[in-house]
């Protein structure tokens, strides 16, 4: 019997912009609980965002969204936030902005944090929490009828990676699996690698046997399986990752404004307002939580392991000398 195409809920045309609004609203502290708050005079919070956290969103839309929300923050909460927060591309730009105190807080990926080093940022991080946890798990999925039983069987096959900030560590996790097994790098091991901007563009090509494997978040696979149980029935998990934090909001290490403690306290009450709940749901989070930077340890270990494996691979006499797969790059 021919498989019936899975049904995916249609999103409104403005979803991309709404998602940017949500992201900015959350990580820029704009959703402080709507209640009387003390205005702190002469307080300015200069925000930064790395371009990596806006994957799949037009940067002009991102800037427009940030301007709208930060102006609202300025008006309602008495904290001076520049109307045009910085969008930084590349770790050199991030390091320069932090070192020269052009920004006070920034949202970045775990890979960017690892590249910069711990000394730049404060000892606490602010993370989105869902199902009681602030981490993501990645799944390597294949079709049950593909005949693929282990990762070695993927040699010469095609793979799709979910292109999303929450999945930013997935390509490196997959490549670590290959390198540990002595199978080389993704670009040489797989015949073709692409990135799916949407969840459906990542999972459905494997469901319909157009691609051989995909890597998505566990939550993403659960969502697709709920939308159509056939997806969960026909796709199987070949490997799963440890729990990791892919994206974090951090203050600059030497940022010591008197308003900092109040801001951090208010963040954890975001979910107590109706507006906050709506945006948290849109952004697939239930709450925001302040945790020790140790929450990033598993992510940093993944990145350090990848660096060690690549160093060993590129030593004279090793099996290969190609550079590592660039996160976010599509190989065709």
Residues 241 and 144 sit within 8 Å (Cβ to Cβ): no
pLDDT per residue as tens digits for the range 208-223:
999 999 999 999 999 9
Dmax over Cα atoms in the chain, in whole Å?
69
Residue 264, classed as helix, strand or coil, is helix
Question: Which percentage of the chain shows pLDDT scores above 90?
Answer: 42
Q: Is 313 domain-assigned?
A: no
Residue bearing the bigger pLDDT, 309 or 119: 309
Show which of 221, 242, 263 is a domain's final residue.
242
Residues 108, 251: one domain? yes
Q: What is the β-pairing status of strands 105-109 and 213-217?
A: unpaired
CA distances from 37 to 109, 266, 268 (A): 31, 9, 14
Q: Does residue 310 belong to any structural domain of this protein?
A: no
**55 and 89: one domain?**
yes
46 and 193 assigned to the same domain: no
Residue 256, domain member (yes or no): yes
Residue ranges making up the domain that contains 50: 15-133+245-296
Q: Are residues 128 and 250 in the same domain?
A: yes
Query: Total domain count for the chain?
Result: 2
Would you call 250 exposed, middle or buried from its count of C-beta atoms within 10 A (0-12, 13-18, 19+)?
buried
What whole-number distance in Å separates Cα of residue 288 and Cα of residue 136?
A: 15
> What is the model's pLDDT at position 128?
81
Tens of pLDDT, residue by residue over 86-130, are: 888 888 999 999 988 888 888 889 999 999 888 888 888 888 888
Rounded to whole angstroms, how far apart are CA atoms 293 and 297?
Answer: 8
Return d(Cα 267, Cα 263) in angstroms, integer.
6
Q: Is the pLDDT of residue 273 over 70?
A: no
Q: Which of 226, 242, 258 is the last residue of a domain?
A: 242
pTM of the model: 0.79
173 and 118, same structural domain? Answer: no
pLDDT in tens, 152-193: 999 999 999 999 888 999 999 999 999 999 999 999 999 999
- Flag whether 30 is in a domain: yes
């Amino acid at each position: 019997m021919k498989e019936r195409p899975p049904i995916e809920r249609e999103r409104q045309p403005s979803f991309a912009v709404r998602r940017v609004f949500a992201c900015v609203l959350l990580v820029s502290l704009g959703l402080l609980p709507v209640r009387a708050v003390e205005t702190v005079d002469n307080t300015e919070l200069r925000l930064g965002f790395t371009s990596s956290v806006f994957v799949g969103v037009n940067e002009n839309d991102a800037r427009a969204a940030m301007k709208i929300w930060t102006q609202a923050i300025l008006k309602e909460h008495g904290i001076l936030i520049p109307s045009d927060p910085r969008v930084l591309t590349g770790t050199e730009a991030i390091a320069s902005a932090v070192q020269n105190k052009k920004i006070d807080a920034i949202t970045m990926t775990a890979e960017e944090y690892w590249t910069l080093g711990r000394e730049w940022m404060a000892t606490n991080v602010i993370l989105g929490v869902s199902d009681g946890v602030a981490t993501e798990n990645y799944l390597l999925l294949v079709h049950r009828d593909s005949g693929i039983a282990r990762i070695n069987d993927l040699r010469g096959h095609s793979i799709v990676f979910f292109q999303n900030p929450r999945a930013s560590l997935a390509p490196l996790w997959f490549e670590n699996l290959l390198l540990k097994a002595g199978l080389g790098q993704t670009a040489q091991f797989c015949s073709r690698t692409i990135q799916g901007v949407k969840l459906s563009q990542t999972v459905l090509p494997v469901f319909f046997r157009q691609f051989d494997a995909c890597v998505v978040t566990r939550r993403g696979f659960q969502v697709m399986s709920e939308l159509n149980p056939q997806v969960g029935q026909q796709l199987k998990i070949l490997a799963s990752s440890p729990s990791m934090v892919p994206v974090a909001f951090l203050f600059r290490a030497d940022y010591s404004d008197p308003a900092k403690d109040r801001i951090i306290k208010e963040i954890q009450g975001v979910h107590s307002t109706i507006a906050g709940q709506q945006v948290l749901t849109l952004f697939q989070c239930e709450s925001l939580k302040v945790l020790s930077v140790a929450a990033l340890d598993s992510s940093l270990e993944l990145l350090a392991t990848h660096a060690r494996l690549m160093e060993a691979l590129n030593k004279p006499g090793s099996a290969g000398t190609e550079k590592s797969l660039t996160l976010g790059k599509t190989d065709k």
